[in-house]
Chains A and B, each alone.
Chain A
Amino acid sequence: GAVVSQHPSWVICKSGTSVKIECRSLDFQATTMFWYRQFPKQSLMLMATSNEGSKATYEQGVEKDKFLINHASLTLSTLTVTSAHPEDSSFYICSASSGRYYNEQFFGPGTRLTVL
């Protein structure tokens, strides 16, 4: 149990376009989902925390208009990178948690975004 999926696993897009990444909890209802960004050979940086049905809480320095997060249901959160630029290229990872699992975070496999 406690499986989290992400789609797509990788995406290449042109500069100026928008890209949507989905994060799904497959076998549990996630009250909270988290979005991280991981640069090559570096740690994970928390971008935002989202609770189902409410607005996401962004970390300091993360542009909320640039990285749109929607947590419309207890099993799905989406991250949309708007007007993507090459500096947005990165590995994006989501996680999901639930009180059922004592709020442990379960991580998705990640999405590699490359902006040309």
Chain B
Amino acid sequence: GNSVTQMEGPVTLSEEAFLTINCTYTATGYPSLFWYVQYPGEGLQLLLKATKADDKGSNKGFEATYRKETTSFHLEKGSVQVSDSAVYFCALRHPLGQGAQKLVFGQGTRLTINP
């Protein structure tokens, strides 16, 4: 079945450091890929998405590129801030006809940025 694997956390970085959170997926067909962020005490928010191979999603300085050849969607940011501290979830959405609209989440990666 479809699945998502994220790098295990927690991840602790200093402010202005470069961030990479790895995400790989297993899916039949061509899923859409997402990164969600969950700030303390809040619900999940969509951070960025990509719907086809080689698409790059970007938002708030974060980027991720849909790599079909490596089945990956790694999250990157060039210079993190304390306010980026949160839990990050990689997810895929089933292609049409396979329980469409359902999201499959990775296990989440807790990120802490120290000043």
Contacts and interface: CB of A to CB of B under 8 A. Distances in A.
A47 B17 CA distance: 37
B46 interface: yes
B103 A93 contact: no
Contacts, number: 40
B71 interface: no
Q: How large is the interface on B (under 10, 10 to 19, 20 to 34, 35 or more residues)?
A: 10 to 19
Interface in A35-86: 41-44, 46, 49
A109 B42 contact: yes
B89 interface: yes
B44 interface: yes
Interface residues of A, number: 20
Contacts of A97: 101
Contacts of A93: 43-44
B42 to A, nearest CB: 6
A93 B38 CA distance: 12
B68 interface: no
B105 interface: yes
Interface in A1-47: 4, 6, 32, 34, 41-44, 46
Given A44-B44, A105-B101, 17 more contacts: A41-B110, A42-B108, A43-B105, A43-B108, A44-B89, A44-B103, A46-B103, A46-B104, A49-B101, A93-B44, A97-B101, A103-B101, A104-B46, A107-B43, A107-B44, A107-B45, A108-B43
A-B residue pairs, 8 tightest by C-beta: A107-B43, A107-B44, A109-B43, A43-B107, A43-B105, A44-B105, A108-B43, A103-B101
Interface of B: 36, 41-46, 89, 101-108, 110
8 contacts: A6-B43, A41-B108, A41-B110, A43-B89, A43-B106, A46-B102, A107-B45, A109-B41
Interface of A: 4, 6, 32, 34, 41-44, 46, 49, 93, 95, 97, 103-105, 107-110
